[in-house]
Amino acid sequence: MGRGRALLQYCATRLALAPIMLWLIASMVFLLLRIAPGDPVDAVLGTRANELARSALRAKLGLNQPLIKQYLDFIKDLSHGDLGEALVNQEPVRNIIQKALPASLELGITALIVAALIGIAVGFSGVSRAGSKTDLAGRLYGISTYALPPFWAAMLVQLLFAVILGWLPVGGRFPPSLLQPNGTGFLLLDSLVSGNWSALQGTIRHLFLPSITLGILLSGIFSRALRMNLSRILEADYIEASRSRGIKESQILLKHALPNALLPVLTIAGITIASLIGGALLIEVTFSWPGIAMRLQEAIAQRDYPVVQGIVVVVASLVVVVSVIVDILVATIDPRIRY
């Protein structure tokens, strides 16, 4: 079988299996939520509602139906792309996700760019001067950022740049004094498209601290992965052969070693993107970033079953899609990979 055909078959299989995987995930979330103690009625009525009011609301929300009927209704609606309505305020779950997901993606993408830039720079500079102080500092940086608790780092950054220096906002996604541009929900893009420069500036100011913090925290993984792979590749036979042919060291590093070393980094980037789709909870909570992770956390606390189910299913779908895309990318770049 040709390589292209094998790849196509692999992707088709992955995508064909996706609905089964999503069904399993959705079923597990449905079941686990109902097993967990707590009642969505409490979130809506408060704790003091009498049993009559509670039963009436339970009936209105369909929570008095047998569990199997609730489950079958949920799966039926899901198969039609209907994620239902939030129990707490009857807002369609689709709308909730549409509002929260762009915030998480915007933060995740920016943080990933920061992480990749810093990670590659640190990893590359370490290998190019192996054993030097720069290398040592880079390795120390990689371990430290990897080990730092995100909430602690975020609070520290918040305290320094927002509270003490007052340079940047403490939290939120957009300045309260301005009107948020309408559009895709990606505020950077919406501000640019509408040509609203003060909105763009406000968005950047709010995005700066969370994305830099998250980017720095993620960069350690990139720098370590790059350094490790680059060191291994620099000892490979084809590199030795290049050296013996008199090719310059910088050219060997940039043209022959780096592209190969970046392949595992691409895989790591894929995994990181997949995890960031679900939001970076601690960063979102610390910086009051209205992303999908924070929304999920609120929904779990309120036992808002449709919101939790909807978010999990959508995030899982996106993770499947992203991982397939990364696989295709890696296979396209690296001819050695077979499926």
Which residues bind to another protein, rule: CB under 8 A? 37-39, 42-53, 57, 86, 88-91, 99, 134, 155, 158-159, 161-163, 166-180, 198, 201-202, 204-205, 208, 284-288, 290, 294, 298, 301-303
Q: In this complex, which beta carbon is closest to another protein, that of residue 38 or of residue 259? A: 38
Neighbours of 149 (CB within 10 A): 10
Query: What is the sign, positive or negative, of the torsion defined by CA atoms of 58, 64, 67, 69?
Result: negative
How far apart are CB 93 and another protein at their closest, in Å?
13
- The DSSP annotation for 177-213 comes to TSPPPPSSS-HHHHHHHHT-HHHHHHHHHHHHHHHHH
Q: In this complex, which beta carbon is closest to another protein, that of residue 48 or of residue 336? A: 48
How far apart are CB 50 and another protein at their closest, in Å?
5
Q: In this complex, which beta carbon is closest to another protein, that of residue 268 or of residue 305? A: 305
How far apart are CB 261 and another protein at their closest, in Å?
22
How far apart are CB 52 and another protein at their closest, in Å?
7
Q: In this complex, which beta carbon is closest to another protein, that of residue 82 or of residue 298? A: 298
Q: In this complex, which beta carbon is closest to another protein, that of residue 131 or of residue 335? A: 131
Residue 255 is classified by DSSP as I
How far apart are CB 48 and another protein at their closest, in Å?
5
How far apart are CB 211 and another protein at their closest, in Å?
11
Query: CB–CB of 299/311 below 8 Å?
Result: yes
- Report the alpha-carbon distance of residue 163 to residue 168 in Å, rounded: 8
What are the residues facing 92 on neighbouring strands? 85
- The DSSP annotation for 98-134 comes to HHHHHHHHHHHHHHHHHHHHHHHHHHHHHHHTTTSHH
Q: Exposure string (b/e) for 205-216, b if CB count within 10 Å is 16 or more?
A: ebbbbbbbbbbb
Q: In this complex, which beta carbon is closest to another protein, that of residue 268 or of residue 308? A: 308
CA torsion, points 277, 183, 96, 82, in degrees to nearest 10? -90
Query: CB–CB of 53/269 below 8 Å?
Result: no
- Report the alpha-carbon distance of residue 146 to residue 5 in Å, rounded: 39
How far apart are CB 178 and another protein at their closest, in Å?
7
Q: In this complex, which beta carbon is closest to another protein, that of residue 30 or of residue 174? A: 174
